[in-house]
Chains A and B, each alone.
Chain A
């Protein structure tokens, strides 16, 4: 036998007690939706998980009204300390139910259990803990004494980190004193609905958080609802642009976390083994379904061949398969549509003359899968060097000098994140200064923390999530 074909080590799904169908969570209760329900499936097996209610415009009205009522009558009258206590409760409940949430997330999203278990869910708890402590300290947020909440926040989140994005949105909103209507992505509603059960266990006052499920039109109705005061969206730049247009002139405060095409810059003096790990983590973490993924590798020409050689060797040890297997490194692509987009852009990359290489791995018969892939000989004008693929596909470009690396890294309408690999501290700090991106990782990549502001420059959106800045996004005053 080959030791590296580790025997299956699946996480048990017996910890889950799912319902056959889920309603909308409005005013503290699960209620029926008025749109046609839809199914959420497991992208690794294409099997049905549950039926999900679909919120139409009327349901959006009901949810916003519930949030408004809760804001006026309950939440805005609570002390910051009490709001904080609710958030602490939620954080603890998330920890208590961590394994269950991780399993549900991997089932519904397709991400490896080791990521949902070790990254997503622990960060969810951390986010609530962090913002819980802010709730009674708003005077210290840098916005002057006694800053006011905005009111009702409309929040629309993506499918790549379903529960984590929920935490990024809900925790600061509640800490600042807002109430919330949140819409999870159509393909990944499950953990948000389990989270609604957690809110019931926490005895959060009815209407403070409302979770409505549905597709794009539900999100649109929510964002454009005249009685919301804040819009927070994470997703594609195209939708972000549409939201920015639709809220123009309304005075709604807006936070947009949009797309990216991050440069991961590897200098010839980089700690090479860690850089290779960082490249892998940068683009293959969460199947590359990461807005801040290091999807453009900029490697110094003098070490290009060596880096690519090492990278291919490393990629050959990546294990693709059952997201619930504890040894899986690469899970399923979240949806058929996304898989098709990745395939299409990869084919274009090949047609444009780039050299394609995929790690040898067996693709399961059912489900949506894409082998970790790199493109070398990519020209800067190639679509795979410019467009966000949002999949496990890396485009490799070269540079000769730090100035060229900076120029190429900045040559994009996006500006969310970037990576720098070098053993020379002064060079790292100087390059970091010059990069037009909101998050710079030096000798690391894809790190997140509730205390650390996250968000982009240029077409990657505006506003910050995390830290004091993320709190200010839900308070009056301040800039965003």
Chain B
């Protein structure tokens, strides 16, 4: 006699908690063959607003943590991802209609990308910073530091977990906090990833995950004055130029859409940093 399964309710991940959408809305997530998989929360603009508040609240603590600590916390996530490897593979197979080997490859690549980014936590400053030989009696040092709250439209196709990891990890490794809109059609691995984050040492609010319609939510994030940067990686199908125009109202840093899934790169880390140059007088007497 087969056991009756206990299905999971997929909710949003905001401020370290798993709320339903304040709107009460959900949408059906179905397999590529059209079978019902779950009711995912259909996030509203108010959920996006709450997520920005949570992200802002978490910024001081996360960006203020030592780089070594951030690296350890991120590496710990990779360990937990590895532990849930089979679950992620199942979800990818179910939502994306991927073959098992291809889903396995995606999940393994995602975990490895996460490890790669985790290692940058205490190195990107050295790679992107500079001691500057100015002509005068000054100590002068340029260092990148996190931009602040980053809104991200995750890749919408080509691998829901890998897509999410590939935009999430480079943003948070430097100390930014993030509001990410997951793949609309395949949001389940995003919520499972959130469960991993919630049980890891990442402080609540550092990562906030919204499921639902990027078309509906992205404009609110692009226009939000307390968002400092916008990653349009998965916004190719949206009116993304309008989003960029809206983001210009507060001079947000904007990365344009990418085709497919962005490969691991230091540039993606540095894109969400600000170079700060400190001058200090120096003298023996």
Chain A residues proximal to chain B, CB less than 8 Å: 126, 142, 237, 240-241, 244-245, 248-249, 251, 256, 258, 413, 415, 425, 428-429, 432, 435-444, 447, 449, 451-455, 457-462, 464, 467-469, 477-480
- A241-B248, A258-B251, A478-B267 known; A449-B130 Cβ under 8 A: no
- In the bound complex, residues from chain A placing their C-beta under 8 Å from that of B241 are 248-249
- Closest chain A residue, CB of each to CB of B137: A444
- A142-B128, A439-B279, A444-B279 known; A245-B138 Cβ under 8 A: no
Asked if B142 contacts A244 (CB within 8 A), the reply is: no
What is the number of residues of chain B that contact chain A, defined by CB distance less than 8 Å?
A: 38
- A249-B241, A447-B138, A467-B132 known; A440-B249 Cβ under 8 A: no
- Closest chain B residue, CB of each to CB of A452: B132
- In the bound complex, residues from chain A placing their C-beta under 8 Å from that of B276 are 432, 435, 437-440, 457
* In the bound complex, CA of A440 to CA of B245 (Å): 30
- In the bound complex, residues from chain A placing their C-beta under 8 Å from that of B228 are 458
* In the bound complex, CA of A461 to CA of B252 (Å): 9
* In the bound complex, CA of A76 to CA of B108 (Å): 43
* In the bound complex, CA of A438 to CA of B142 (Å): 9
- In the bound complex, residues from chain A placing their C-beta under 8 Å from that of B132 are 449, 451-453, 467
Asked if B274 contacts A457 (CB within 8 A), the reply is: yes
Distance in angstroms from A414 CB to nearest chain B CB is 10
- In the bound complex, residues from chain B placing their C-beta under 8 Å from that of A256 are 251
Asked if A142 contacts B275 (CB within 8 A), the reply is: no
Q: Mark B136-166, 1 if CB is under 8 A from A, else 0.
A: 1010101000011000000000000000000
Q: Which of B132, B244, B271, B277 has the most chain A CB atoms inside 10 A of its CB?
A: B277
Asked if A248 contacts B245 (CB within 8 A), the reply is: yes
- In the bound complex, residues from chain B placing their C-beta under 8 Å from that of A126 are 135
Asked if B267 contacts A477 (CB within 8 A), the reply is: yes
At the interface, yes or no: B133 with Cβ under 8 Å from chain A? yes
Asked if B136 contacts A447 (CB within 8 A), the reply is: yes
In-complex Cβ contact of B136 among A449, A453, A464 (8 A): A449
In-complex Cβ contact of A453 among B138, B142, B248, B280 (8 A): B142
Distance in angstroms from A405 CB to nearest chain B CB is 16
- In the bound complex, residues from chain A placing their C-beta under 8 Å from that of B135 are 126, 449, 451
In-complex Cβ contact of B278 among A432, A457, A467 (8 A): A432
Distance in angstroms from A238 CB to nearest chain B CB is 11
At the interface, yes or no: B281 with Cβ under 8 Å from chain A? yes
* In the bound complex, CA of A413 to CA of B249 (Å): 11
Asked if B280 contacts A467 (CB within 8 A), the reply is: no
Q: A457-B276, A479-B273 are in contact. List 14 more A-B contacts (CB 8 A).
A: A237-B251, A244-B248, A248-B241, A248-B245, A249-B240, A249-B244, A432-B278, A439-B276, A447-B136, A452-B140, A452-B277, A454-B277, A459-B250, A477-B267
- Closest chain A residue, CB of each to CB of B145: A433
- In the bound complex, residues from chain B placing their C-beta under 8 Å from that of A443 are 280-281
In-complex Cβ contact of A240 among B147, B251, B270 (8 A): B251
- Closest chain B residue, CB of each to CB of A243: B248
At the interface, yes or no: B127 with Cβ under 8 Å from chain A? yes
At the interface, yes or no: B56 with Cβ under 8 Å from chain A? no
Asked if B136 contacts A438 (CB within 8 A), the reply is: no
- In the bound complex, residues from chain A placing their C-beta under 8 Å from that of B279 are 439-442, 444, 447, 452
- In the bound complex, residues from chain B placing their C-beta under 8 Å from that of A240 are 251
29 CB < 8 A contacts A-B:
A248-B241, A248-B244, A248-B254, A249-B244, A428-B280, A432-B276, A436-B148, A438-B276, A442-B278, A443-B280, A444-B279, A447-B279, A449-B135, A449-B140, A452-B134, A452-B140, A452-B142, A452-B279, A454-B277, A457-B147, A457-B274, A459-B250, A460-B251, A462-B253, A467-B142, A469-B142, A479-B267, A479-B270, A480-B271
* In the bound complex, CA of A367 to CA of B262 (Å): 57
Asked if B251 contacts A479 (CB within 8 A), the reply is: no
Asked if B251 contacts A451 (CB within 8 A), the reply is: no
At the interface, yes or no: B219 with Cβ under 8 Å from chain A? no
Distance in angstroms from B67 CB to nearest chain A CB is 13
Asked if A464 contacts B281 (CB within 8 A), the reply is: no
Distance in angstroms from A445 CB to nearest chain B CB is 9
At the interface, yes or no: B256 with Cβ under 8 Å from chain A? yes
Distance in angstroms from A256 CB to nearest chain B CB is 7
- In the bound complex, residues from chain A placing their C-beta under 8 Å from that of B247 are 244
Asked if B250 contacts A458 (CB within 8 A), the reply is: yes
Asked if A248 contacts B248 (CB within 8 A), the reply is: yes
* In the bound complex, CA of A126 to CA of B136 (Å): 13
